[in-house]
Amino acid sequence: MTNLAPSRVAPIAITMGDACGIGPEIIARLYRGGLARGCFVVGDVDVMRRAAAWTGEMLSVARIDEPASVFDVPANCMAVLQAEGLTDGLATLPVGRIDARAGAAAARCIEQAVSLAMRGEVAAIVTAPIHKEALAAAGVGFPGHTEMLQALAASPGQPVLPVRMMLANAELRVVLVTIHQSLRQAIEGVTFDAVLETLRIAHRAAAGWGMTTPRIAVAGLNPHAGEGGLFGDEELRIIGPAVAAARAEGIDARGPFAPDTVFMRARHAPEHPGEFDIVIAMTHDHGLIPVKYLGVEHGVNVTLGLPFVRTSPDHGTAFDKAGTGNADPSSMAAALAMARRLVQAAAG
């Protein structure tokens, strides 16, 4: 994706991710490629220096005290805002392993980045991968980024904001009704209200990108979208009525369609312009497998419904590659480029 000029008004914060995974390395490689101008890392200075050394020679790391100072840092120098409350010795942790200390540090970096975003000190947050088991080992009560960001963005005493996960690349955009749950729990989570709320969030988000009337396809839950109730009736009882309610609100929602074909119909390719702009999928794997099959290196995770822009690469910590300096930064670069585009679109 094209690297756009950074904003002088508010920089972009990049969270370090799990110190034992590839997050610090792929961030360092963004700086080496000149893609992270106007950005700073919320993380640990020593961890980022270790990552810089792994990825090659001659990449300086500068500690900054506030986000605005990033614009005073020389080009191709990584600016790091030392996150508050991090444990000592993170740069000595062995890579490629689950460690509660790394999980706690990753969570603290996210918390501080959200605080900066809520105060308007950053234009967007791009999050490097975290490890869910490391979070759990640290006692962090969230299964992933989406749920944590949702809770952190809530005003004191107010209910959490309804948010949804979208995975996107140049060919396909998929928004999920349910995310990090067991399949049994996810099926129970497919309710009329959940489907309708997902349609509303997707429609509002797309309008913010300049799509005034996005075409939204809704995938069914059951094989063949239930085949008229033969293979399950959720489409008749829940999903179809939610689509009808969304259409009554002026949302261009259609379906439910058979989930084994709707993604092909929506895919935008040079030889095949897609029929739809967004696909709503009921469960995590239903929606993410098609996008990731098109290439993990191109995918971007976007959290819809937050009061700030948040993106991330669509892969995990890749412990097997950590410490080699050879991890592919393409998805991280795509996440940063997407964040810049969404910030510019929101600014009009």
Write the pLDDT tens digit of every residue in 204-259.
999 888 888 999 999 999 999 989 999 999 999 999 999 999 999 999 999 999 99
Comparing 5-19, 103-117, 131-145, the range with the smallest average pLDDT is 5-19
Confidence grade of residue 6 (pLDDT, cut at 50, 70, 90): very low
Give the mean model confidence (pLDDT) for residues 68-84.
93
Phi, psi (rounded to 5 degrees) for 82: -65, 115
Q: Tell me the CATH number of domain 1-162+297-348, given options 3.40.50.2300, 3.40.718.10, 3.20.20.70, 3.40.50.300.
A: 3.40.718.10
DSSP label of 70:
G
Question: Does the bond joining 241 to the residue before it have cis omega, within 30 degrees of 0?
Answer: no
284-304: burial string, b at 16+ Cβ within 10 Å, e else: bebbbebbbebebbbbbbbbb
| Token reading at 163 | 């948010």
Closest CA to 309 of 277, 338, 287, 280: 338
Give the DSSP letter of residue 160. P
- The Cα diameter of the chain in Å comes to 64
Has residue 5 got a pLDDT over 60? no
For the entire predicted model, the pTM comes to 0.89
Burial of 254 (0-12, 13-18, 19+ CB in 10 A): middle
93 by DSSP, 3-state: which?
coil
The candidate with the shortest Cα–Cα distance to 239, out of 263, 260, 255, is 255
Buried b (16+ CB within 10 A) or exposed e, 176-190: bbbbbeeeeebbeeb
In one-letter notation, the amino acid at residue 290 is P
Q: Where are the domains of the chain?
A: 1-162+297-348, 170-294
Encoded tokens for 67: 């986000």
Cα-Cα end-to-end distance for the chain: 20
Q: Is the pLDDT of residue 125 over 60?
A: yes
Q: Do domains 1-162+297-348 and 170-294 have the same CATH topology?
A: yes
Please provide residue 123's backbone torsions phi and psi, each rounded to the nearest 5 degrees.
-85, -25
Percentage above 90 pLDDT, the chain = 79
**Hunting for tokens 């261009």 — which residue is that?**
252
User: Which pLDDT does position 212 carry in this prediction?
Assistant: 86
Dist CA 276 CA 270 (whole Å): 15
- 170-294 architecture in CATH? 3-Layer(aba) Sandwich (3.40)
